[in-house]
Amino acid sequence: MPRTKIAGIGHHVPENVYTNEDLIKYMDTTNEWIIERTGIEERRFIKKGEDTTTTLAAKASRNACKHAGIEPEEIDFIIFATLSPDYYFPGSGVLLQRELGITKTEIGALDIRNQCTGFIYGLSVADQFIKSGMYKNILLVGAEVHSVGLDFSTKGRNVSVIFGDGAGAVILQPTEQEDQGVLLSELHSDGTHAEQLCVLSPGSHSGMHMPDTDFGLDDEKPIGGYFLSEKILEDGHYHPHMSGKLVFKHAVVKFPEVIKSVLSKMKLSSADLDMFIPHQANLRISQFVQKILGLADDKVYNNIQKYGNTTAASIPIALSEAVQLGKVKRGDLVCLAAFGAGFTWGSTLLRW
C-alpha cells in the first residue's frame, strides 16, 4: 500500500501588517498585555476589497503546485479547511477550483469545518484517498480571513488580538518510499464545551431562545427572520466567543496526550522527533507542551509572534516556512498537532 507524501507546499499571507500598537488605537489594551497572554507581536490582515479566504488559498495553492512541479490542472481533488468561508454556502472548495481555473475537469471539492484542527482532519482524509488509489494529486488547503469578523473594541479584545489572516497549502501524492510520507494520524473530539469557543450566529440555533413576538409570528407561520435578526446583531453573537482559561486548560492536556499516543503507536518517543509544529493557538500553550515533551527550542517551530492564530491555516503556513528555512529536511520525523473549537484535537506523524 502506498504512503501519502507532501510533494509540494506553499503559503501566502497578506502584506498588511497590524502590530499590537495598531490595535491599541481601537481598544483598551497594551502591547505588554497581548504578548504576556498570547506571545503575539503582530498579525496580517487583508486589505478590504482586495482578498477573500479563497483568493488567499489560491495564492498559497499556486505556490504549492510550483513546489511540487505540477500545474493546477493536474489536481484531481480539493480539500479546503476553513472557519471563515467566503459565503455561508456554497463552500470555498468549489470557489478555489474556479479561482485556479480547473473547472473543466470537474474534480471533486470537499469542505472541512473543524476550525483549528481542520488541516489535521483534512490530512487524515486525504491520506485515506491516496492509500486507496482513488486520487493521485490532492490539494489540501487551510485558509482564513478573520479580520472581517472580529470585534475591534474593548469588549472583543480577548479574542480579536489573537487572530490573523493567511493561507497554507500542500500537494499530496502517493509514494512507495518506506522512509517518506504520513505514518499515522489520530483524531478526537468532545462536544461537551462546544459553546465555549464558538460563533453562535448566524445558524439554525439562532431562533431557539428568541420570543416569537419579535417578529409577530404565531403557530401557523414559519420562523423566518431568526437567521440574522436585530437582536442577534445587538447581542454581538456573530462575533467569536472564547472562554480562554477553559480552552487553555483542555489544550495543555490534550495536545501532549495525542502526540504521545501517535508516537507510542509507532514505537517512538518525543526524543525521536526532528521537528514539532503545533497549531499556532497561543505561544504559551506551545511552550507548555514543548516542556512536557522535553523538546529543545530547535525542535519546535512557532511563528504566532508575527502571524497570530490563523486557525486552519496555521500548521501549513508554519510547516511551509520551516521547509523554506531548512528547518525541516528530507527524512526528518515531523509531528503536527492541533487543538481547537468543538473541542476537536488531533495529531499527524510523518516522515518528510
Give the active site residue among 116, 158, 302, 335: 116
Give the active site residue among 12, 67, 146, 279: 279
Q: How far is CA 176 from CA 9, 182, 322, in A?
A: 20, 12, 25
Contacts of 277 (CB under 8 A, 6+ apart): 300, 301, 315, 318, 319, 322, 334, 335, 336, 337
Q: Which residues pair with 309 in a beta bridge?
A: 163
Angstrom distance (rounded) from CA 61 to CA 92:
13
Helices 314-324, 118-132: axis angle to 10 degrees equals 70
CB 105 within 8 A of CB 45: no
Angstrom distance (rounded) from CA 144 to CA 43:
13
On the 0-12 / 13-18 / 19+ scale of CB atoms within 10 A, 199 is: middle
> Is residue 198 flagged as an active site residue?
no
Give the active site residue among 114, 282, 309, 335: 309
- Compute the residue count for the chain: 352
CA 67 from centroid of its chain's CA atoms: 21
Helices 53-68, 92-99: axis angle to 10 degrees equals 60
> Is residue 309 flagged as an active site residue?
yes
Contacts of 159 (CB under 8 A, 6+ apart): 150, 151, 239, 240, 241, 242
What the block records as the C-alpha cell of 336 is: 503536527
Q: Which residue has the cell 487524515?
A: 124
CB 125 within 8 A of CB 113: no
> Is residue 65 flagged as an active site residue?
no
Catalytically annotated residues: 116, 279, 309
